[in-house]
Structure 1
Amino acid sequence: MKKGFLLFLLIILTISVFSAVRLKDIAYFRGARDNQLFGIGVVTGLNGTGDSGNVTSELLSNMMKNLNINLQNAFTTKNSAVVFVFADIPAFYKEGMKLDVTITAAGDSKSLEGGFLIQTPLYGADGQVYAVAQGSVLTGGAEVSTTANLQKRNKVVGVIPQGAIVENEIPATIVSKNTVTVLLRNPDITTAARTALSINAQFGQKLAKAVDPSSIKVNIPDVFSDDLISFLALIEEVEIDPDSRAKIVINEKTGTIVFGGKVKVADFTVNYGNFVISVDNGKVGDSDATIYNLVNALKAAGATPQDVIAIIQNLSAAGYLYADVVVM
């Protein structure tokens, strides 16, 4: 591949200068979690692209019997397909609220395009019905002729936006022994400690304690004993300076390198091709020994994206790079 066609992107995530973020953007309260729902239904209205087997016919016949409609002959058609139906129900969703639904063909249907899902109960892990789905199945935009080498649409998977109606609320409890627990989406010891300190500073008293890298337990003050929502809202607005382990993500196909500003490199000398780059006494030339400055030095020396990626991988293997390297 020629140099002119190489895509070389350096996305610099300088963690040290990140502005503080709201706690609600990096954490949630224990008990306030999504739950998965699942069901098996039938999509009808297909133009001869449905299932070829007899399972669909049996399901349709049973549906007819439930509606007190007795058929004299077997109900057979290729205009229907058995499907699996999936949805996620967030915490605190009440009866009547709507959910997005995903539909996938269960049999040998060639396409669900233009189909309509018959009313289908959606079950939780406990076997109880929590929502009912029904509606027109969308499989994406229309096919168009193009010279581009694009992947064809998968017509045996579709969606029904707002296609399920919640029938029963899933119980959710976020208070335990007069405490609530904040859970970090990305567990980290430093972030957990900072979260507890920030919450205590916000309320001017020691209410929060980091239990582990993902959990911060917070006592509910007496003044908020009858106004929990206001207390939770104040916690969500607490600003945190999150921390994370140094990491470099490399996509060899596109030549993309993503890294944070705290990534450091040890002293080393690399002889690669026609150039030599050294890190001596914690400096790359006159700059600090960071991956950002190292990459800039390599580019200035004429290194291609593939050269930079190869050097970073070798530095990591030799232990001179203080970061996790993830190759995609």
Structure 2
Amino acid sequence: MRKNLFVTFLLILIINVYVFAGVRIKDISDFRGARDNQLFGIGLVTGLNGSGDSGNVPSEMLNNMLANFNINITSYVETQNTALVMVFADIPSFYKEGMRLDVTVAAIGDSDSIENGVLMQTPLYGADNKVYAVAQGNVLTGGANIRSSSNLQEKYKVVGYIPEGAIIEKEIPAQIVNENTVTINLKQPDITTSARVANAINSTFSLKIAKAIDPSSIRIEVPKYFEDDIISFLALIEEIEITPDVKAKIVINEKTGTIVLGGDVEIADFTVSHGNFNVSVENGKISGKPATVSNLITALKTAGATPQDIIAIIQSVQAYLYADLVVM
């Protein structure tokens, strides 16, 4: 009863303190030890009505791959109704035997299409060369055929998908708790965000149980209240909300003329001449407004600058930007 009251109190505290704080820890991080694993295999797609492999694609690398999988396809390449394919799937953490995975199928040889084919039963291996799932089923390429007169791209027919086409045969062990501690890994490492996560956890539980180890990792001790109920503890951790810190960045795509920036990126005083444009930032102001990249872009557009002009000016004043500039 005491434990239930304690958990209820923590839930109320989380809702009242962090509801307006930003984003959940769950959305910006993962628990160490809980991650996806990649599976792969080599199989045959049949029933292709003449669009399969010709059997005339020699490859020493391919032969070596097949030998490693103990596959002998000599008897299968006599017909163009089959195609040799690679089969891929990701197995999320904590997935159990009997659960299903989506599968991607990609032609290896010179087949024209694997559309409407059927993948024969194919074992899927992990990085340790052990079988963790078996795939089989009808291959879907999606979309509709496009007429040659259309400007749309024709359907790509040598890569297909089998929704829930693999059955897990062996679970991949995942261990979150290590010596009564769990570790959170941030998806975007940042010193400030890491510290905020640790502080938010400590404030929520009114215990100093979390410590930021580095910009990406926060180690958390499991309180005695939750030693026999780890899942409830992790659920509480996931629901805590913080405001992640984001480093100022400007992303420019020269091909499309697109500029992406987060928040109000500030700029220092400068003067630049570009074609018919003379731009000056003085005393932290541009056209009477705060000197930010957003206001600079607005002023340039008002003056008739093209996207190419704006991009050229931003690139030329990079040294005066309080942000990282990424050009694509």
| TM-score (normalizing by structure 1) | 0.86
Out of 276, 291, 313, the position equivalent to 2:293 is 291
Partner of 1:190: 192
Q: 2:300–2:310: 8 Å Cα contact kept in structure 1?
A: yes
Answer yes or no: is 1:104 the counterpart of 2:145: no
Kept in 1: contact 2:54–2:77 (CA 8 A): no
Q: Which residue of 1 aligns with 2:157?
A: 155
Residue type at the aligned position of 1:49 = S
- 1:142 corresponds to 2:171: no
Give 1:214-253 correspondences, 5 Å limit. Answer: 214-253=216-255
The equivalent of 1:42 in structure 2 is 44
Bigger relative contact order, structure 1 or 2 (CA pairs below 8 A, ≥6 apart): 1
- Partner residue of 1:313? 315
Counterpart CA distance in 2 for 1:230 and 1:133 is 35
Tell me the amino acid that sits aligned with residue 323 of structure 1: A
Count the aligned residue pairs.
Answer: 299
Matched with 1:68 is none
Contact 1:261 1:290 in 2 (8 A): no
| CA-to-aligned-CA distance 1:203-243 (integer Å, 9 cap, x gap) | 11111111011000011000000000000000000101011
Separation in structure 2 between the aligned mates of residue 78 and residue 148 of structure 1, nearest angstrom = 29
Which residue matches 2:325?
325
Distance 1:54 1:306 in 2: 49
Amino acid at match of 1:294: L
Query: How far apart are residue 313 of structure 1 and its match?
Result: 0.8
SS in 2 for 1:31: coil
Q: Secondary structure at the match of 2:30?
A: strand
Post-superposition shift, 1:54?
7.6
| CA displacement at 1:321 relative to structure 2 | 1.2
Q: Is the 8 A contact 2:40 2:124 kept in 1?
A: yes
**TM-score normalised by length of structure 2:** 0.86
- Over the matched positions of the two proteins, sequence identity in percent amounts to 67
Structure 1 counterpart of 2:198, one-letter code: A
Structure 1 residues 307-316 or 144-153, which shifts more?
144-153
CA gap 1:92/1:137 in 2 versus in 1, 3 angstroms: same
Residues 1:299 and 1:19: Cα distance change in structure 2 (over 3 Å): farther
Please give the alpha-carbon distance, in whole angstroms, between the structure 2 residues aligned to 1:191 and 1:63: 50
Aligned-pair CA distance for 1:19: 6.0
8 Å Cα contact 1:121/1:133 also seen in 2: yes
> Offset at 1:132?
0.5
Secondary structure at the counterpart of residue 265 of structure 1 = coil
Partner of 2:121: 119
Task: Report the equivalent of 2:4.
Answer: none
2: CA distance, partners of 1:77 / 1:300: 66
Aligned twin of 2:181: 179
User: Within 1, Cα distance between the matches of 2:288 and 2:193?
Assistant: 32
Matches of 2:25 and 2:71, distance apart in 1: 49
The CA distance in 1 between the partners of 2:308 and 2:236, in whole Å, is 48
- Cα pair 2:55 2:77 within 8 Å, conserved: no
Q: Does the aligned pair in 2 maintain the 1:266–1:282 contact within 8 Å? A: yes
Distance 1:45 1:302 in 2: 60
TM-align CA RMSD = 2.3
CA gap of 1:148–1:267, structure 2 versus 1, over 3 A, is: farther
| 1:205–1:144 distance in 2 versus 1, CA, 3 Å | same
| Equivalent residues in 2 for 1:266-305, closer than 5 Å | 266-305=268-307
**Greater mean alpha carbon deviation, residues 178-187 or residues 19-28:** 19-28
- Give the match for residue 206 of structure 1: 208
Question: CA 1:269–1:80 in structure 2 vs 1: closer, same or farther (change >3 Å)?
Answer: same
Distance 1:300 1:251 in 2: 21
1:118 CA drift (Å) = 0.4
Distance 1:146 1:303 in 2: 39
What SS does structure 1 have at the residue aligned with 2:101?
strand
- Where structure 1 has 5 or more consecutive residues not aligned to the other structure, the ranges are 1-17, 65-72
Who is 2:266 aligned against?
264
Q: 1:302 to 1:200 in 2, by over 3 A?
A: same
User: SS of the counterpart of 2:305?
Assistant: coil
Amino acid across the alignment from 1:22? R
